[in-house]
Amino acid sequence: MKQMRILWDMPITVDIRDDEYTSGSVEAVYEYFQHIDDVFSTFKPASEISRFNRGELSADDWSTELTEVVALCEQTRLETRGYFSYMRHGVIEPLGLVKGWALKNAGDMLQMRGVNNFFIDAGGDVELHGYMGENIPWTVGIRDPFYRNDIVKKLFLTDCGIATSGTYIRGYHIYNPFTGTSPITDIISLSVIGPNVYEADRFATAAFAMGRKGIEFIESVTGLEGYQIDERGIATYTSGFDRFVAHYGHHWIG
């Protein structure tokens, strides 16, 4: 069972490989994603975060989701020595964490419904569990940021998450919070594998903001592996990354 819908201004794919599952599981995931968009979209004037940023809602009136996400953003800021930033020009912008957090929650929802083999991809960030076939791990590709129809690495993954931060699709949208608005130009993409996509996503965002030293930070965090491509097309990767490398693939990320 595989579906793709456009939400959050990006394609979101849910791929379930269990022989038995309820169609309501897929609908529940997409309904949850729609709810998350209604709460956190900074582009929707009626969203909770937009109303707070306009001064129409106090922190005392935050929903459980917004309270949790802001707390996680602050935790991540501290864990990354300030490189993860969620405040800009006096407003809250938690989008560098929300997507991975929501994808992990959706994966948890599927597992609670008895789904054991699934793949959820939102714009290249992936939460995956189990297998795509009989003892066959999910195979995920890291795109070449210079030739986006090509992939540079194919990975065997199961029970984990992977996220990519970069400038080759959305342009310069991640900045070093200590140097202002100067664009990061020394690296082009950074893919991070973590125990789930929430961990991969938040640390990929922060590490990219560190520029060329980001891959060293990923190396220092237990449970993470990373693959970084610089402006010259030279790749640098963490010491444990090689164990995930495969030789063929079915899904692309990045």
Secondary-structure breakdown of the chain: helix, strand, coil percentages, each rounded to the nearest 5:
35, 30, 35
Are the C-beta atoms of residues 134 and 127 closer than 8 Å to each other?
Answer: no
Predicted confidence at residue 174, as pLDDT, reads 76
- In contact, 248 and 242? CB cutoff 8 Å: no
Tokens of 102: 């929501």
First-to-last C-alpha distance (Å) of the chain: 23
Could you give the C-alpha distances from 178 to 28, 167, 209, 220, 251, in angstroms and in order?
40, 19, 10, 21, 36
Partners of 11 in the β-ladder: 6
Q: Is the pLDDT of residue 254 over 70?
A: no
The model's confidence at residue 21, banded by pLDDT at 50, 70 and 90, is confident
Domain that holds residue 183: 2-253
Mean pLDDT is lowest, of 59-63, 225-229, 246-250, for: 246-250
Is pLDDT of 223 > 80?
A: yes
Q: Per-residue pLDDT averaged across 222-239, rounded?
A: 97
Structure tokens at 169: 């699709």
pLDDT confidence of residue 48: 97
pLDDT per residue over 82-141, tens digit each?
999 999 888 999 989 999 999 999 999 999 999 999 999 999 999 999 999 988 999 999
Q: What is the mean pLDDT of residues 178-198?
A: 90
The answer to whether residues 215 and 223 touch, using CB atoms and an 8 Å cutoff, is: no
Residue 173 has pLDDT above 70, yes or no: no
Q: What is the pTM of this model?
A: 0.93
Both tokens assigned to 211: 């520029």
Predicted confidence at residue 170, as pLDDT, reads: 61
Mapped onto helix, strand or coil, the DSSP state of residue 223 is coil
Digit-coded pLDDT (tens) for 23-82: 799 999 999 999 999 999 999 999 999 999 999 999 999 999 999 999 999 999 999 999
Residue 252 has pLDDT above 70, yes or no: no
Q: Which of 186, 184, 154 is nearest to 172 (CA)?
A: 184
| Residue 83: strand, helix, or coil | coil
28-to-22, 25, 112, 209 alpha-carbon distances in Å: 10, 5, 12, 34
Q: Which tokens in the block code for residue 204?
A: 């990929």
pLDDT at 251 over 60: no
Sheet holding 125-129, edge to edge: 2-7, 10-16, 118-122, 125-129, 160-166, 187-194, 225-230, 235-237
Average confidence (pLDDT) over 213-221: 98
Q: Are 97 and 76 in contact (CB under 8 A)?
A: yes
Residue 176 pLDDT class (50, 70, 90 cuts): confident
Q: Which run of H or E residues covers position 203?
A: helix 197-209
Phi, psi of 113 (to 5 degrees): -90, 5
Could you give the number of structural domains in the chain? 1
CATH number at residue 83: 3.10.520.10
